[in-house]
Amino acid sequence: MQAPVRIAPSILSADFARLGEEVRAITAAGADYVHVDVMDGHFVPNITIGPMVVKAIRPHTHLVMDVHLMIAPADPFLDAFAEAGADILTVHPESGAHVHRTVQRIKALGKKAGVSLNPGTPAKMLDYLIDDIDLVLVMSVNPGFGGQSFIDGQLKKIEAVRKMIDRTGRSIDLQVDGGIDTLTAPRAIAAGADVLVAGTATFRGGAGQYAANIAALRG
């Protein structure tokens, strides 16, 4: 059963010179999660932030810290991000040789485990993982940069993942990330998404606009 829609602003689009203030602002504006995009310049063509930044912003919010690891290999960094204050650690099947073992390690650290599917990664990749994870992230753009356009073909994947989740009877977040705005959000929700990652659409217009931006994405 689909849960109420939650909004996870991606701090990739925040003002990095004022990151603590930005995190406090989206918390006050009604965000549900704080989404942290970790990129290594190897698994994806961009470099962003590491555990030290997660640790630095953790005191600025009580919200779920939703950390998306677009790094390879991911395993050597799980402990550091967990210790820094991540609540959810999401990895890609392609970022290590044994994704099930990675999920086991995340759970052993006392964190929720997510698996992210790139646009070219099939939903079938979840067949033997779905019973062990807490979140599925469908990428509706190719990861690496903010501000890209939503890939319409991913809607079928969202629908397929929703069916898989519903069959388990478990509470598993179905998160969608990439090109989410007031036009694409309703389509992602209709396909089955219940957590929307939004960077540009959240942080547009400055802190005074964040609450309205978040409310508009909820529909």
> Annotated binding residues for a divalent metal cation, as ranges?
35, 37, 68, 177
Which residues are catalytically annotated? 37, 177
d(CA 54, CA 194): 24
Report the chain's C-alpha Rg in angstroms: 16
Q: Which residue positions form the known binding site?
A: 10, 35, 37, 68, 144-147, 177-179, 199-200
Instruction: Report CA dihedral (141, 147, 149, 151) to the nearest 10 degrees.
Output: 10
DSSP state letters, 61-91: --SEEEEEEE-SS-GGGHHHHHHHT-SEEEE
Residue 10 contacts by C-beta under 8 Å, 6 or more apart in sequence?
Answer: 35, 36, 37, 146, 177, 197, 198, 199, 202
DSSP secondary structure string, 154-174? HHHHHHHHHHHHHHHTS--EE
Query: What tokens appear for 9 in the block?
Result: 């602003």
